[in-house]
Structure 1
Amino acid sequence: MAAPRKVKQLSRATAEAIFNRFHEIEPEPKGELDYVNAFTLLVAVVLSAQATDVGVNKATKRLFELAPTPAAMVALGEEGITEHIRTIGLYRGKAKNVFALSQLLLEKHGGDVPSEREALEALPGVGRKTANVVLNIFFKQPTIAVDTHLFRVSNRTGLAPAPTPLAVEQKLLKIVPERFMLHAHHWLILHGRYICKARTPECWRCPIREWCLYEPKTPFPNKSPKKALPLA
């Protein structure tokens, strides 16, 4: 992740206003990875590193039909997994991790995906970000997974300016109002994916531009006013 531009942190009141606006636009934001249970969600998130959700969904459609459980994934074998995910970046290493984590789930967790961070992070290919996604989406825990989109938005806007993903996560946990914690992760990621883009943020249609500290704001392409649009 690129080093962020220095910006001051927004106040708690401003953070409240921002998440109120996100909630007004989309009260129940959803992740874009396809899954059928905790195990397939875990696998999808592991595969999504340096890959798009769309690409992962295409690759896992047949994979999850054949192997929706750790036992079925182990039976498919590392080479079998590889054949289904060849279109995803770093597919060989990811196939190795998916096979290994499936074995470990069978050996240590009875085939179930654990709901504890420490146990999740002990699985091959699972780091803090992946664990946070699974804990948030499937187990409904108020965690925040800092990916490149969320890191960018947090620094650009001033919500949680910090030099590392962990530092951003820790700041967000302090400034996000408790009632918005469960969905904060998705609101910020979707905002970064579709509006606050890396190269050219679409400030002209941003629903939180009045509070954002990013400058200079990008104008509407045709230089004419445009009403702010939803997150996606």
Structure 2
Amino acid sequence: MAISQKVKDEMLQRFQNQYGIIKPALHYNSPFELMIAVILSAQCTDERVNIVTAGMFPEYNTPEKMLSLGLQGLEEKIRTCGLYRSKAKNILANCAILCEKYNGEVPQTFDELVKLPGVGRKTANVLVSILFNTPAIAVDTHVFRVSNRLQLAEGKTPLEVEKGLQKAIPEEWWSRAHHWLIWHGRRVCKARKPLCDNCFLADLCPSCQNNEQQ
């Protein structure tokens, strides 16, 4: 049976009390750097991305400079991020479009962002939320898992979960809730062995209660 909105509201209040405002874990000094970092973070830890970008951004921190690396040069820079070949190809195609169409600047709307190579819904939502203060919820693997386990928003696809979260969460909390769910998924509600005994939502969580009954 689905949980009530009252229970969801209590979950959100506890998230607020526990985590408050969480800053992005990725390191960046410009919209372009954040966009590249988020693209690199796909199937890669933020810690690894920060190591890679620390060695790349000081010199290659604009679309023009990134293009100067060429495909092989960029692949070498990001090799340890995983999926580096496809990421390098998308990043260079992205940089070319930024130079040709946007004067080297990152576009500010979701619809423009998702048309860029390597930028899907998740990345676009992250960018408009952090850079341009547009309410948005980016659904990565952590957000997807935690939302379904809590029944805060259930769905078989990230888009279904995104729409469910938009209904369950007040719009002014969308961006901060995205970070709450990621943080909670990394620290407590882990994929293989969730730490239910240490979870401040255990008494409200249907998944935790089901596990106790088994």
Are 2:118 and 1:125 equivalent residues in the alignment?
yes
* Structure 1 residue 198 corresponds to structure 2 residue 205: no
Q: Cα RMSD between the aligned structures? A: 1.4
1:32 aligns with 2:22: no
Q: Does 1:145 align with 2:145?
A: no
Structure-2 change in CA distance of 1:43 and 1:129 (3 Å): same
Q: Do the aligned residues in 2 keep the contact of 1:9 with 1:161 (CA within 8 Å)?
A: no
Which AA in structure 1 matches 2:168? I
Q: Give the TM-score normalised by the residue count of structure 2.
A: 0.94
SS at match of 1:64: coil
- The answer to whether the 8 Å contact 1:9/1:159 transfers is no
Structure-2 change in CA distance of 1:217 and 1:29 (3 Å): farther
Q: Does 2:154 correspond to 1:169?
A: no
* Distance across 1 between alignment mates of 2:12 and 2:164: 15
Q: Which runs of 4+ in 1 moved over 6 A?
A: none
1:161-192: CA deviations, max 9, x gaps? 11111001001000112332220100011111
8 Å CA contact 1:94–1:125 kept in 2: the answer is: yes
Structure 2 unmatched ranges of 5 or more: none
Q: What SS does structure 2 have at the residue aligned with 1:49? A: coil
Amino acid at match of 2:17: E
Residue 52 in structure 1 maps to residue 48 in structure 2: no
1:3 aligned residue = none
| Native 8 Å contact 2:135 2:172 kept in 1 | no
Partner AA of 2:89 in structure 1: K
Structure 1: 5+ residue stretches without partners: 1-7, 219-232
Which residue is equivalent to 1:135? Answer: 128
Q: Does 1 or 2 have the higher relative contact order (CA < 8 Å, sep 6+)?
A: 1
Query: What is the TM-score of this pair, normalised by structure 1?
Result: 0.87
Aligned residue pairs total 211
Alignment partner, residue 42 of structure 1: 35
What letter is aligned with 2:48?
G
More helix by share: 2
Alpha-carbon distance in 1 for matches of 2:25, 2:3? 29
Letter in 1 for 2:142: H
Aligned residue among 212, 216, 227 for 2:211: 216
The equivalent position to 2:15 in structure 1, one of 19, 22, 26, is 22
Give the secondary-structure state (helix, strand or coil) at the position aligned to 1:32: coil
The question of whether the paired residues in 1 share the 8 Å contact of 2:129 and 2:136 is answered with yes
Amino acid at match of 2:119: V
Give 1:186's aligned residue: 179
The one-letter code matched in structure 1 to 2:51 is K
Q: Taking every aligned residue pair, what percent have the same amino acid on both sides?
A: 47
Q: Tell me how far apart the structure 2 counterparts of residues 172 and 185 of structure 1 sit (CA, whole Å).
A: 9
Conserved in 1, the CA contact under 8 Å of 2:26 and 2:46? yes
1:98 Cα shift?
1.0
For residue 157 of structure 1, report the CA deviation from its aligned partner.
Answer: 0.8
Describe the SS at the equivalent of 1:201.
coil
